[in-house]
Structure 1
């Protein structure tokens, strides 16, 4: 069981780092959050039955751990700003376009939950997977994504 878990963490660490980058303000925050997530995954690993895709389960545990940790922070110690590495967009020759930079700035202005939903959307998760990860209905996922897209259009047009 231990070997399977370690292999899972090794093969899926990119997914976990995306969540850490999204919710960690500094390198130390990201490292601490990664350890917290791995600990929670280890604790819940024996109960994972494979009913959902493994990535859905990983996102669910990782996002719940990150959001729980965020709620415990005092208001002055909250993670206040995301870096562009949160969404790990590959660098293109000449650097990111102004449109991509504007999109990153707009995403950083969304609520923490909306940022999580945006991350899942950008990872091409299905509505069903997003619903399972966030504990909401598929209909609510559709509604929230529609609202997020509208918000992002507005934020980008104001920039």
Structure 2
């Protein structure tokens, strides 16, 4: 049975790449919103966004941050990381910049979003491992993520147990 997870990412840049990960069928995740639906929630303000995140993170065992070029700088990604960690969920990151987007383009590698966080005196990276597929060809990156994501999720959950 696939673990229930929450996907965190930069929608504007990476929705096509994230859809590829979602289509792998390796983990169960929250529904991905269309741009229009996200805008509708966004127009209601920060409290509505926080409520959507909180509601969709309930019952999930792990947060998977799908890291693209600008993911680490996104306000809501930071909120999701903090919430998931404080709620005791497994937390991990996967670089997706080498998956092609809808135009067939890859992106530059982004910063590790966990670098900005600490738990007490410990860096969050003690609990939040980041995986960077060792390939530059999109199809190889896809296969590597598909073959390993379920194991990475289990390891992240185990680290928090």
TM-score (norm 2): 0.28
Q: TM-score, normalised by structure 1?
A: 0.29
Task: Give 1 or 2: higher strand fraction.
Answer: 2
Structure 1 or 2, whichever has the larger Rg, is 1
Higher helix share: 1
